[in-house]
Structure 1
Amino acid sequence: MAEKSKYKRVILKLSGEALAGDKGFGIDPETVESIASQIKDVTECGLEVAIVNGGGNIWRGLSGSSKGMDRATADYMGMLATVINSLALQDALETLGVPTRVQTAIEMRQIAETYIRRRAIRHMEKERVVIFAAGTGNPYFSTDTTAALRAAEVEADAILMAKKGVDGVYDCDPAKNKDAVMFEKLDYIEVIQRKLSVMDSTAISLCMDNKIPIVVFNIDKPGNILRAALGEEIGTLVGGK
Protein backbone atom coordinates (compact mmCIF):
# COMPACT_ATOMS: atom_id res chain seq x y z
CA MET A 1 0.00 0.00 0.00
CA ALA A 2 3.01 2.31 0.47
CA GLU A 3 3.33 2.44 -3.32
CA LYS A 4 -0.01 4.28 -3.45
CA SER A 5 1.23 6.99 -1.11
CA LYS A 6 2.78 10.27 -2.23
CA TYR A 7 5.30 9.88 0.57
CA LYS A 8 7.74 7.25 1.78
CA ARG A 9 9.08 8.91 4.95
CA VAL A 10 7.14 11.43 7.03
CA ILE A 11 7.58 13.50 10.18
CA LEU A 12 4.46 13.71 12.35
CA LYS A 13 4.38 16.88 14.47
CA LEU A 14 2.16 16.53 17.54
CA SER A 15 1.38 19.35 19.94
CA GLY A 16 1.55 18.59 23.63
CA GLU A 17 -2.11 19.54 23.89
CA ALA A 18 -2.99 16.74 21.46
CA LEU A 19 -1.83 14.23 24.08
CA ALA A 20 -3.88 15.87 26.82
CA GLY A 21 -7.24 15.10 25.22
CA ASP A 22 -10.18 17.12 26.50
CA LYS A 23 -8.44 17.77 29.83
CA GLY A 24 -6.18 20.38 28.25
CA PHE A 25 -3.24 19.51 30.50
CA GLY A 26 -1.19 16.48 31.44
CA ILE A 27 -1.34 13.20 29.51
CA ASP A 28 -4.60 11.38 28.80
CA PRO A 29 -3.83 7.63 28.37
CA GLU A 30 -6.87 6.98 26.15
CA THR A 31 -5.93 9.83 23.81
CA VAL A 32 -2.32 8.66 23.61
CA GLU A 33 -3.50 5.11 22.88
CA SER A 34 -5.78 6.39 20.09
CA ILE A 35 -2.96 8.38 18.49
CA ALA A 36 -0.60 5.38 18.79
CA SER A 37 -3.18 3.17 17.08
CA GLN A 38 -3.42 5.62 14.16
CA ILE A 39 0.38 5.73 13.88
CA LYS A 40 0.43 1.92 13.80
CA ASP A 41 -1.97 2.06 10.81
CA VAL A 42 0.54 4.28 9.00
CA THR A 43 3.46 1.94 9.65
CA GLU A 44 1.41 -1.04 8.45
CA CYS A 45 1.11 0.70 5.08
CA GLY A 46 4.88 0.55 4.74
CA LEU A 47 5.61 4.21 5.44
CA GLU A 48 8.58 5.28 7.55
CA VAL A 49 7.52 7.47 10.47
CA ALA A 50 9.29 9.85 12.83
CA ILE A 51 7.53 12.00 15.43
CA VAL A 52 8.23 15.34 17.09
CA ASN A 53 6.22 16.13 20.24
CA GLY A 54 5.50 19.46 21.81
CA GLY A 55 5.42 19.87 25.57
CA GLY A 56 2.73 22.50 26.10
CA ASN A 57 0.48 20.10 28.01
CA ILE A 58 3.09 20.06 30.78
CA TRP A 59 5.11 23.26 30.47
CA ARG A 60 5.46 26.21 28.10
CA GLY A 61 8.83 27.94 28.02
CA LEU A 62 7.43 31.21 26.68
CA SER A 63 4.81 31.26 29.42
CA GLY A 64 7.46 30.79 32.09
CA SER A 65 9.74 33.49 30.68
CA SER A 66 6.84 35.95 30.41
CA LYS A 67 6.43 35.65 34.18
CA GLY A 68 10.02 36.52 34.96
CA MET A 69 11.81 33.18 34.63
CA ASP A 70 15.09 33.09 32.72
CA ARG A 71 14.16 32.27 29.10
CA ALA A 72 16.85 29.63 28.60
CA THR A 73 15.89 27.86 31.83
CA ALA A 74 12.19 27.96 30.89
CA ASP A 75 12.98 26.52 27.45
CA TYR A 76 15.07 23.69 28.90
CA MET A 77 12.14 22.80 31.15
CA GLY A 78 9.96 22.69 28.02
CA MET A 79 12.43 20.32 26.37
CA LEU A 80 12.18 17.96 29.34
CA ALA A 81 8.38 18.07 29.01
CA THR A 82 8.70 16.80 25.43
CA VAL A 83 10.76 13.85 26.73
CA ILE A 84 7.95 12.91 29.14
CA ASN A 85 5.44 13.00 26.26
CA SER A 86 7.76 10.98 24.03
CA LEU A 87 8.17 8.21 26.62
CA ALA A 88 4.38 8.03 27.06
CA LEU A 89 3.88 7.72 23.31
CA GLN A 90 6.68 5.16 23.00
CA ASP A 91 5.06 3.02 25.68
CA ALA A 92 1.67 3.19 23.92
CA LEU A 93 3.20 2.27 20.55
CA GLU A 94 5.19 -0.66 21.90
CA THR A 95 2.12 -1.95 23.74
CA LEU A 96 0.56 -2.18 20.26
CA GLY A 97 3.60 -4.04 18.94
CA VAL A 98 5.19 -1.11 17.10
CA PRO A 99 9.00 -1.03 17.65
CA THR A 100 9.89 2.50 18.72
CA ARG A 101 13.02 4.45 19.62
CA VAL A 102 13.20 7.78 21.45
CA GLN A 103 16.16 9.95 20.51
CA THR A 104 16.88 13.05 22.58
CA ALA A 105 18.82 16.18 21.65
CA ILE A 106 19.96 16.38 25.29
CA GLU A 107 21.91 13.34 26.46
CA MET A 108 20.02 11.15 28.96
CA ARG A 109 21.33 7.67 28.25
CA GLN A 110 19.35 5.87 30.96
CA ILE A 111 16.01 6.53 29.23
CA ALA A 112 16.67 7.27 25.56
CA GLU A 113 19.23 7.27 22.77
CA THR A 114 21.14 10.43 22.01
CA TYR A 115 20.11 11.86 18.62
CA ILE A 116 22.34 10.62 15.80
CA ARG A 117 21.10 11.33 12.30
CA ARG A 118 22.41 8.18 10.61
CA ARG A 119 21.10 5.97 13.41
CA ALA A 120 17.67 7.60 13.18
CA ILE A 121 17.53 6.93 9.44
CA ARG A 122 18.60 3.33 9.98
CA HIS A 123 15.87 2.82 12.57
CA MET A 124 13.25 4.03 10.08
CA GLU A 125 14.65 1.83 7.34
CA LYS A 126 14.16 -1.10 9.76
CA GLU A 127 10.50 -0.09 10.19
CA ARG A 128 10.94 1.40 13.66
CA VAL A 129 9.14 4.59 14.66
CA VAL A 130 11.58 7.24 15.87
CA ILE A 131 10.46 9.93 18.32
CA PHE A 132 12.67 13.01 18.42
CA ALA A 133 12.57 14.53 21.91
CA ALA A 134 14.08 17.53 23.74
CA GLY A 135 13.66 19.88 20.78
CA THR A 136 16.90 20.92 19.08
CA GLY A 137 18.71 20.83 22.42
CA ASN A 138 18.97 24.63 22.32
CA PRO A 139 16.79 27.31 23.96
CA TYR A 140 14.95 29.88 21.81
CA PHE A 141 13.91 27.25 19.24
CA SER A 142 10.41 25.80 19.09
CA THR A 143 9.40 22.19 18.47
CA ASP A 144 8.07 23.43 15.10
CA THR A 145 11.65 24.31 14.20
CA THR A 146 12.73 20.90 15.52
CA ALA A 147 10.27 19.20 13.15
CA ALA A 148 11.54 21.23 10.18
CA LEU A 149 15.19 20.62 11.08
CA ARG A 150 14.79 16.87 11.63
CA ALA A 151 12.72 16.57 8.43
CA ALA A 152 15.57 18.15 6.47
CA GLU A 153 18.20 16.01 8.22
CA VAL A 154 16.49 12.65 7.66
CA GLU A 155 15.24 13.67 4.19
CA ALA A 156 11.55 13.28 5.03
CA ASP A 157 9.09 13.71 2.19
CA ALA A 158 6.63 15.78 4.25
CA ILE A 159 5.77 17.15 7.66
CA LEU A 160 2.31 16.23 8.94
CA MET A 161 1.19 19.05 11.26
CA ALA A 162 -1.53 17.66 13.51
CA LYS A 163 -3.71 20.48 14.84
CA LYS A 164 -6.28 20.17 17.59
CA GLY A 165 -9.77 21.49 16.86
CA VAL A 166 -9.17 22.94 13.38
CA ASP A 167 -9.29 21.28 9.95
CA GLY A 168 -6.46 23.28 8.38
CA VAL A 169 -5.14 26.82 7.96
CA TYR A 170 -7.68 29.67 7.93
CA ASP A 171 -7.46 33.34 6.92
CA CYS A 172 -8.49 34.24 10.49
CA ASP A 173 -9.36 32.48 13.75
CA PRO A 174 -12.37 30.20 13.02
CA ALA A 175 -13.18 30.10 16.74
CA LYS A 176 -13.75 33.86 16.69
CA ASN A 177 -15.08 34.34 13.16
CA LYS A 178 -17.67 31.96 11.70
CA ASP A 179 -16.91 33.32 8.23
CA ALA A 180 -13.28 32.25 8.38
CA VAL A 181 -12.13 30.63 5.11
CA MET A 182 -9.86 27.58 5.06
CA PHE A 183 -7.07 27.42 2.50
CA GLU A 184 -6.61 24.19 0.54
CA LYS A 185 -3.11 25.16 -0.63
CA LEU A 186 -0.60 27.84 0.31
CA ASP A 187 2.90 28.87 -0.71
CA TYR A 188 5.54 29.15 2.02
CA ILE A 189 6.08 32.86 1.42
CA GLU A 190 2.34 33.48 1.66
CA VAL A 191 2.30 31.88 5.13
CA ILE A 192 5.13 34.18 6.25
CA GLN A 193 3.67 37.34 4.72
CA ARG A 194 0.18 36.74 6.10
CA LYS A 195 1.58 35.60 9.47
CA LEU A 196 -0.66 32.53 9.37
CA SER A 197 -0.50 30.14 12.31
CA VAL A 198 1.07 27.11 10.64
CA MET A 199 4.56 27.10 12.14
CA ASP A 200 6.82 29.87 13.39
CA SER A 201 8.76 31.81 10.77
CA THR A 202 12.06 29.99 11.43
CA ALA A 203 10.42 26.61 10.82
CA ILE A 204 8.59 27.80 7.70
CA SER A 205 11.81 29.24 6.28
CA LEU A 206 13.60 25.93 6.87
CA CYS A 207 10.84 24.06 5.06
CA MET A 208 10.88 26.57 2.19
CA ASP A 209 14.68 26.36 1.78
CA ASN A 210 14.55 22.54 1.73
CA LYS A 211 11.29 22.22 -0.24
CA ILE A 212 9.56 20.17 2.45
CA PRO A 213 5.75 20.17 2.06
CA ILE A 214 3.62 20.65 5.18
CA VAL A 215 0.19 19.05 5.58
CA VAL A 216 -1.93 20.78 8.25
CA PHE A 217 -4.88 18.66 9.40
CA ASN A 218 -7.28 18.00 12.28
CA ILE A 219 -6.06 15.27 14.63
CA ASP A 220 -9.42 15.08 16.41
CA LYS A 221 -10.92 13.13 13.49
CA PRO A 222 -9.99 9.41 13.69
CA GLY A 223 -8.05 8.18 10.66
CA ASN A 224 -6.78 11.61 9.64
CA ILE A 225 -3.14 10.76 10.41
CA LEU A 226 -3.27 7.89 7.92
CA ARG A 227 -5.09 10.00 5.32
CA ALA A 228 -2.48 12.75 5.62
CA ALA A 229 0.39 10.24 5.44
CA LEU A 230 -1.03 8.66 2.29
CA GLY A 231 -1.16 12.08 0.63
CA GLU A 232 -4.93 12.34 0.40
CA GLU A 233 -6.40 15.81 -0.08
CA ILE A 234 -6.98 16.72 3.53
CA GLY A 235 -6.65 19.99 5.43
CA THR A 236 -4.19 22.53 4.00
CA LEU A 237 -1.09 21.77 1.95
CA VAL A 238 1.76 24.27 2.32
CA GLY A 239 4.29 24.02 -0.51
CA GLY A 240 4.48 20.75 -2.41
CA LYS A 241 2.62 19.96 -5.61
Structure 2
Amino acid sequence: MSAQSSPSHSAPAAAATITEIDDPIQEAHSLKAAANAHFQAARYDDAVAGYLDALAVLPPRPTPPPSFHDEEQPHDHDGEQELCSNDQQDDDDDDDNGQPPAPRPADEPQEIKTLRATINANLSLCYLKLHQHAQAVDAATQALISQPLYVKALHRRSLANIQIDTLASLSSALEDQKLLLTLPDLPASTRPSIQKSIADLEPRVGELAEKEKQEMLTKLKGIGNSLLGTFGLSTDNFQFVKQDNGGYSMNFVR
Protein backbone atom coordinates (compact mmCIF):
# COMPACT_ATOMS: atom_id res chain seq x y z
CA MET A 1 0.00 0.00 0.00
CA SER A 2 2.84 2.40 0.73
CA ALA A 3 4.01 2.28 -2.90
CA GLN A 4 0.87 4.19 -3.98
CA SER A 5 2.15 7.48 -2.56
CA SER A 6 5.48 7.57 -4.45
CA PRO A 7 4.23 8.91 -7.86
CA SER A 8 2.95 12.12 -6.24
CA HIS A 9 6.54 13.34 -5.63
CA SER A 10 7.78 13.09 -9.24
CA ALA A 11 6.30 16.36 -10.64
CA PRO A 12 7.49 18.68 -7.84
CA ALA A 13 11.00 17.23 -8.11
CA ALA A 14 11.14 18.17 -11.82
CA ALA A 15 9.90 21.68 -11.09
CA ALA A 16 12.50 22.18 -8.39
CA THR A 17 15.32 21.87 -10.91
CA ILE A 18 13.97 24.95 -12.68
CA THR A 19 12.68 27.14 -9.88
CA GLU A 20 14.90 26.38 -6.90
CA ILE A 21 18.21 27.99 -7.90
CA ASP A 22 20.09 29.47 -4.96
CA ASP A 23 21.89 32.13 -7.01
CA PRO A 24 20.37 32.64 -10.50
CA ILE A 25 22.95 35.26 -11.42
CA GLN A 26 25.85 32.94 -10.65
CA GLU A 27 24.05 30.13 -12.48
CA ALA A 28 23.64 32.39 -15.51
CA HIS A 29 27.36 33.23 -15.39
CA SER A 30 28.22 29.51 -15.31
CA LEU A 31 25.92 28.71 -18.23
CA LYS A 32 27.32 31.67 -20.15
CA ALA A 33 30.89 30.46 -19.58
CA ALA A 34 29.97 27.00 -20.87
CA ALA A 35 28.30 28.56 -23.91
CA ASN A 36 31.42 30.66 -24.52
CA ALA A 37 33.47 27.45 -24.63
CA HIS A 38 31.07 25.99 -27.21
CA PHE A 39 31.41 29.15 -29.29
CA GLN A 40 35.20 29.08 -29.18
CA ALA A 41 35.06 25.49 -30.45
CA ALA A 42 32.71 26.59 -33.28
CA ARG A 43 29.84 24.56 -31.81
CA TYR A 44 27.41 27.38 -32.51
CA ASP A 45 24.17 25.42 -32.04
CA ASP A 46 25.35 24.27 -28.62
CA ALA A 47 26.40 27.82 -27.80
CA VAL A 48 22.93 29.12 -28.73
CA ALA A 49 21.32 26.54 -26.45
CA GLY A 50 23.68 27.52 -23.63
CA TYR A 51 22.99 31.24 -23.94
CA LEU A 52 19.24 30.62 -24.04
CA ASP A 53 19.56 28.52 -20.86
CA ALA A 54 21.51 31.35 -19.22
CA LEU A 55 18.79 33.86 -20.12
CA ALA A 56 16.11 31.50 -18.83
CA VAL A 57 17.51 31.40 -15.29
CA LEU A 58 17.66 35.19 -14.99
CA PRO A 59 14.68 36.95 -13.38
CA PRO A 60 12.25 38.27 -16.01
CA ARG A 61 12.51 41.92 -16.96
CA PRO A 62 10.35 44.27 -14.92
CA THR A 63 7.25 45.69 -16.55
CA PRO A 64 7.39 48.25 -18.09
CA PRO A 65 10.88 47.65 -19.50
CA PRO A 66 13.59 50.32 -19.05
CA SER A 67 13.30 53.38 -21.29
CA PHE A 68 15.72 53.90 -24.14
CA HIS A 69 16.14 57.53 -23.08
CA ASP A 70 18.49 58.90 -20.43
CA GLU A 71 19.87 55.40 -19.88
CA GLU A 72 23.21 55.08 -18.11
CA GLN A 73 25.64 52.82 -19.91
CA PRO A 74 27.69 50.59 -17.57
CA HIS A 75 31.14 49.21 -18.27
CA ASP A 76 30.64 45.79 -19.79
CA HIS A 77 33.08 43.86 -17.65
CA ASP A 78 32.28 42.01 -14.48
CA GLY A 79 35.23 39.66 -14.34
CA GLU A 80 34.04 37.81 -17.47
CA GLN A 81 35.00 38.24 -21.09
CA GLU A 82 32.24 38.79 -23.61
CA LEU A 83 32.60 37.22 -27.04
CA CYS A 84 33.76 39.86 -29.47
CA SER A 85 34.45 40.11 -33.16
CA ASN A 86 37.86 41.23 -34.35
CA ASP A 87 37.04 44.91 -34.31
CA GLN A 88 34.67 45.32 -31.37
CA GLN A 89 35.38 46.31 -27.78
CA ASP A 90 33.21 46.62 -24.68
CA ASP A 91 30.99 49.65 -24.17
CA ASP A 92 31.68 52.28 -21.55
CA ASP A 93 29.48 54.76 -19.71
CA ASP A 94 27.37 57.09 -21.84
CA ASP A 95 26.93 60.54 -20.31
CA ASP A 96 23.62 62.30 -20.91
CA ASN A 97 24.74 65.95 -20.72
CA GLY A 98 26.16 65.29 -17.29
CA GLN A 99 22.73 64.59 -15.84
CA PRO A 100 22.00 61.40 -13.89
CA PRO A 101 19.22 59.21 -15.28
CA ALA A 102 15.76 59.62 -13.82
CA PRO A 103 14.87 56.90 -11.29
CA ARG A 104 12.59 54.13 -12.51
CA PRO A 105 10.57 52.21 -9.92
CA ALA A 106 10.27 49.16 -12.18
CA ASP A 107 13.95 49.08 -13.19
CA GLU A 108 16.11 46.01 -12.51
CA PRO A 109 19.57 45.82 -10.90
CA GLN A 110 22.38 47.01 -13.12
CA GLU A 111 24.28 43.72 -12.74
CA ILE A 112 21.37 41.80 -14.27
CA LYS A 113 20.90 44.31 -17.09
CA THR A 114 24.58 44.12 -18.00
CA LEU A 115 24.63 40.32 -17.87
CA ARG A 116 21.42 40.06 -19.92
CA ALA A 117 22.84 42.46 -22.52
CA THR A 118 26.11 40.53 -22.77
CA ILE A 119 24.38 37.17 -23.19
CA ASN A 120 22.02 38.52 -25.85
CA ALA A 121 24.90 40.15 -27.73
CA ASN A 122 26.78 36.83 -27.69
CA LEU A 123 23.63 35.08 -28.84
CA SER A 124 23.36 37.54 -31.74
CA LEU A 125 26.93 36.71 -32.79
CA CYS A 126 26.11 32.98 -32.74
CA TYR A 127 23.11 33.56 -34.99
CA LEU A 128 25.31 35.55 -37.37
CA LYS A 129 27.72 32.59 -37.55
CA LEU A 130 24.74 30.31 -38.28
CA HIS A 131 23.42 32.72 -40.96
CA GLN A 132 20.18 33.07 -39.00
CA HIS A 133 19.97 36.79 -39.56
CA ALA A 134 16.44 37.55 -38.33
CA GLN A 135 17.26 35.84 -35.02
CA ALA A 136 20.51 37.80 -34.85
CA VAL A 137 18.57 41.05 -35.21
CA ASP A 138 16.13 40.01 -32.47
CA ALA A 139 18.89 39.01 -30.03
CA ALA A 140 20.82 42.24 -30.62
CA THR A 141 17.64 44.25 -30.09
CA GLN A 142 17.09 42.46 -26.78
CA ALA A 143 20.64 43.43 -25.77
CA LEU A 144 19.88 47.05 -26.63
CA ILE A 145 16.75 47.02 -24.47
CA SER A 146 18.96 46.21 -21.51
CA GLN A 147 21.87 48.43 -22.53
CA PRO A 148 21.10 51.11 -25.13
CA LEU A 149 23.95 52.43 -27.28
CA TYR A 150 25.74 49.10 -26.82
CA VAL A 151 28.43 49.13 -29.52
CA LYS A 152 28.61 45.37 -30.09
CA ALA A 153 24.85 44.92 -30.25
CA LEU A 154 24.40 47.85 -32.64
CA HIS A 155 27.18 46.56 -34.87
CA ARG A 156 25.89 42.98 -34.94
CA ARG A 157 22.33 44.10 -35.59
CA SER A 158 23.52 46.22 -38.51
CA LEU A 159 25.49 43.29 -39.98
CA ALA A 160 22.46 41.00 -39.72
CA ASN A 161 20.15 43.58 -41.27
CA ILE A 162 22.53 44.05 -44.19
CA GLN A 163 22.30 40.32 -44.89
CA ILE A 164 18.49 40.43 -44.80
CA ASP A 165 18.75 42.98 -47.63
CA THR A 166 15.32 44.62 -47.68
CA LEU A 167 14.61 48.34 -47.73
CA ALA A 168 13.51 48.25 -44.09
CA SER A 169 16.48 46.18 -42.92
CA LEU A 170 19.06 48.20 -44.85
CA SER A 171 17.55 51.46 -43.60
CA SER A 172 17.83 50.13 -40.04
CA ALA A 173 21.43 49.04 -40.64
CA LEU A 174 22.28 52.47 -42.03
CA GLU A 175 20.73 54.16 -39.00
CA ASP A 176 22.63 51.89 -36.58
CA GLN A 177 25.95 52.43 -38.35
CA LYS A 178 25.55 56.20 -38.42
CA LEU A 179 24.81 56.06 -34.70
CA LEU A 180 27.93 53.95 -34.12
CA LEU A 181 30.11 56.66 -35.64
CA THR A 182 28.89 59.08 -32.96
CA LEU A 183 29.81 56.81 -30.05
CA PRO A 184 33.14 57.39 -28.33
CA ASP A 185 33.42 53.68 -27.46
CA LEU A 186 33.61 52.63 -31.11
CA PRO A 187 37.12 51.18 -31.64
CA ALA A 188 39.22 53.27 -34.01
CA SER A 189 40.05 50.14 -36.02
CA THR A 190 36.35 49.59 -36.75
CA ARG A 191 35.56 53.12 -37.90
CA PRO A 192 36.91 52.80 -41.49
CA SER A 193 34.90 49.64 -42.20
CA ILE A 194 31.71 51.26 -40.91
CA GLN A 195 32.35 54.41 -42.94
CA LYS A 196 32.79 52.27 -46.06
CA SER A 197 29.65 50.31 -45.24
CA ILE A 198 27.66 53.54 -44.90
CA ALA A 199 29.00 54.75 -48.25
CA ASP A 200 27.82 51.48 -49.82
CA LEU A 201 24.47 51.43 -48.03
CA GLU A 202 23.28 54.94 -48.83
CA PRO A 203 22.97 54.46 -52.62
CA ARG A 204 21.57 50.96 -52.11
CA VAL A 205 18.86 52.27 -49.79
CA GLY A 206 18.06 55.04 -52.27
CA GLU A 207 17.87 52.52 -55.10
CA LEU A 208 15.52 50.22 -53.19
CA ALA A 209 13.36 53.15 -52.07
CA GLU A 210 12.98 54.31 -55.67
CA LYS A 211 12.22 50.76 -56.83
CA GLU A 212 9.60 50.34 -54.12
CA LYS A 213 8.06 53.70 -55.03
CA GLN A 214 7.85 52.76 -58.71
CA GLU A 215 6.28 49.41 -57.87
CA MET A 216 3.69 51.15 -55.72
CA LEU A 217 2.94 53.68 -58.47
CA THR A 218 2.53 50.87 -60.98
CA LYS A 219 0.02 49.14 -58.70
CA LEU A 220 -1.87 52.38 -58.11
CA LYS A 221 -1.90 53.08 -61.83
CA GLY A 222 -3.40 49.66 -62.47
CA ILE A 223 -6.14 50.30 -59.92
CA GLY A 224 -6.77 53.75 -61.36
CA ASN A 225 -7.04 52.43 -64.92
CA SER A 226 -9.53 49.77 -63.85
CA LEU A 227 -11.74 52.45 -62.28
CA LEU A 228 -11.34 55.10 -64.98
CA GLY A 229 -11.89 52.57 -67.77
CA THR A 230 -15.60 52.65 -66.94
CA PHE A 231 -15.63 56.28 -68.13
CA GLY A 232 -13.44 55.71 -71.15
CA LEU A 233 -10.44 57.27 -69.43
CA SER A 234 -7.09 56.12 -68.08
CA THR A 235 -4.41 57.51 -65.84
CA ASP A 236 -2.68 58.73 -69.01
CA ASN A 237 -5.35 61.45 -69.13
CA PHE A 238 -3.90 62.97 -65.96
CA GLN A 239 -0.54 64.69 -65.97
CA PHE A 240 1.31 65.42 -62.74
CA VAL A 241 3.69 68.37 -62.78
CA LYS A 242 6.16 68.90 -59.93
CA GLN A 243 6.03 72.37 -58.39
CA ASP A 244 8.86 74.48 -57.01
CA ASN A 245 7.60 73.93 -53.47
CA GLY A 246 7.98 70.16 -53.85
CA GLY A 247 4.27 69.45 -54.40
CA TYR A 248 2.51 68.36 -57.59
CA SER A 249 -0.26 69.83 -59.71
CA MET A 250 -2.57 67.61 -61.77
CA ASN A 251 -3.68 68.52 -65.29
CA PHE A 252 -6.31 66.73 -67.36
CA VAL A 253 -5.04 65.81 -70.85
CA ARG A 254 -7.27 64.54 -73.67
Tell me the TM-score normalized by structure 1.
0.25
Bigger Cα Rg: 2
Higher relative contact order, chain-length normalized (CA < 8 Å, sep 6+): 1
**TM-score, normalising length from structure 2?**
0.24
